[in-house]
């Protein structure tokens, strides 16, 4: 009997380390799960980019790291998502740099009205040394800038009348993002800026709380704003890049190799998002025209651009003005 008990004791001592090792290996194999917030619906170009980013991270980490995409504002509007990323409550968010500039005012230099000659000019800026500098500038605010996404050009739309001149905007209540720059832009054109969360715009248009808003073709379409604001006036006042930002708190917990893996996956997702944007723009324009939206082009943009000079003077410090000159000099 004693021999049996002794054998059992020896066996248990031999098995215990193996069991503990098995637990450690199972724990080591448990994937790191990170969350990414986006306020846009399924199928939207930025969400397509988010999902490509998530796919690349999982593929390249052999499943060790998973990025779960929570779109459609599930984790809050843009402002609250940014705040949660800053404090590590969310790991990533895809966000317009417009509300992000409230956390890093230097970003205003990338989104000033009538700054870029066209889309090609913007991408030369963002994919070069200037763009890299601004991504790196996010660390002081508690973020890691990963990549820029496309959001096209923004135009005005409203429920009252077509816009052809600056005078046509006078007194109109125009929804803007929760951004001091965008409020200043609308004020400079004589309209009344009304900051509202994106999800509140439809009902505000429907109930005449606001007269109009400003955004790109896909947003005008997918938000169904064209149902309650049929006049879409193309002035292309701003090209405001999107950005995927990571929480510095999250990134600091990862190895240097995993940080680089995430950064490269983000960069490599950009071409997919940009192509999705171009395709979506064409479909959105065709859809809203077929639904009865009244589209007009603003031919004299010089009048609108001239009204922006006070905005450049008041929103940019000496450093910001230097960056604007560098951006305009990019060929």
- Structure confidence by residue, pLDDT tens digits, 23-77: 333 345 799 999 999 999 899 999 999 999 999 999 999 999 999 999 999 999 9
Taken as a whole, the chain contains a residue count of: 331
User: How many distinct helices (H) and strands (E) make up the chain?
Assistant: 14, 11
Query: Of 124-128, 182-186, 187-191, 287-291, which range is least confident?
Result: 182-186
What average pLDDT does the segment 279-306 reach?
A: 94
pLDDT confidence band for 154 (50 / 70 / 90): very high
d(CA 156, CA 313): 23
What percentage of the chain carries pLDDT values higher than 90?
82
Going by the DSSP 8-state scheme, the letter that residue 253 receives in this structure is T
* Residue 50 host element (H or E): helix 45-60
Helix boundaries (H) for the chain: 2-29, 45-60, 78-86, 97-100, 119-126, 129-136, 180-188, 201-206, 217-222, 248-252, 256-290, 301-306, 309-315, 318-329
d(CA 254, CA 48): 25
What average pLDDT does the segment 103-118 reach?
A: 92
The mean of the pLDDT values for the chain is: 90
Torsion angle (degrees, nearest 10) of CA 8, 9, 11, 15: 130
Query: Partners of 94 in the beta sheet?
Result: 244
Q: Whole-model pTM?
A: 0.80
Q: Compute the radius of gyration of the chain from its Cα atoms.
A: 24
Query: Partners of 194 in the beta sheet?
Result: 175
Note whether 204 and 214 are within 8 A (CB): no
pLDDT tens digits, one per residue of 178-194? 778 889 999 999 999 99
What average pLDDT does the segment 166-177 reach?
A: 96
What average pLDDT does the segment 153-178 reach?
A: 96
C-alpha pair distances (Å), 31 with each of 36, 67, 93? 16, 10, 20
Judge residue 46's burial from the number of C-beta atoms within 10 Å of its C-beta, 0-12 exposed, 13-18 middle, 19 or more buried. Answer: buried
- Which pLDDT score, from 0 to 100, does residue 28 have? 56
Note whether 307 and 112 are within 8 A (CB): no
d(CA 37, CA 75): 6
């Amino acid at each position: 009997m004693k021999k049996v008990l002794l054998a059992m004791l020896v066996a248990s001592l031999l098995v215990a380390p193996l069991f503990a090792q098995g637990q450690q290996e199972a724990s080591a194999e448990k994937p790191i799960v990170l969350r990414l917030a986006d306020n846009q619906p399924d199928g939207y170009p930025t969400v397509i980019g988010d999902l490509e980013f998530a796919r690349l991270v999982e593929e390249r980490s052999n499943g060790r790291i998973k990025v779960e995409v929570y779109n459609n504002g599930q984790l809050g509007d843009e402002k609250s998502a940014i705040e949660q990323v800053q404090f590590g409550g969310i790991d990533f968010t895809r966000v317009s740099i417009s509300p992000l500039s409230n956390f890093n005012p230097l970003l205003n230099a990338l989104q000033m009205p009538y700054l870029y000659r066209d889309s090609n000019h913007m991408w030369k800026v963002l994919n070069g040394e200037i763009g890299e500098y601004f991504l790196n500038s996010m660390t002081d605010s508690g973020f890691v800038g990963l990549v820029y996404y496309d959001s096209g050009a923004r135009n005005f739309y409203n429920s009252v009348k077509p816009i052809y001149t600056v005078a046509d905007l006078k007194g109109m209540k125009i929804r803007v993002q929760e951004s001091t720059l965008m409020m200043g832009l609308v004020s400079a054109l004589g309209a009344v800026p009304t900051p509202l969360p994106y999800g509140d715009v439809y009902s505000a248009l429907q109930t005449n709380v606001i007269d109009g808003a400003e955004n790109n073709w896909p947003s005008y379409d997918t938000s169904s704003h064209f149902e309650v604001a049929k006049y879409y006036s193309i002035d292309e006042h701003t090209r405001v890049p999107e950005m995927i930002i990571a929480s510095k708190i999250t990134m600091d917990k990862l190895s240097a190799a995993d940080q680089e893996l995430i950064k490269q996956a983000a960069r490599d997702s950009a071409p997919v998002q940009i192509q999705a944007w171009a395709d979506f723009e064409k479909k959105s324009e065709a859809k809203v025209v077929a639904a009865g939206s009244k589209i007009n082009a603003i031919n004299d943009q010089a009048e609108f651009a001239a009204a922006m000079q006070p905005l450049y003077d008041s929103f940019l410090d000496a450093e910001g003005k230097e960056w604007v000159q560098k951006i305009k000099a990019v060929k």
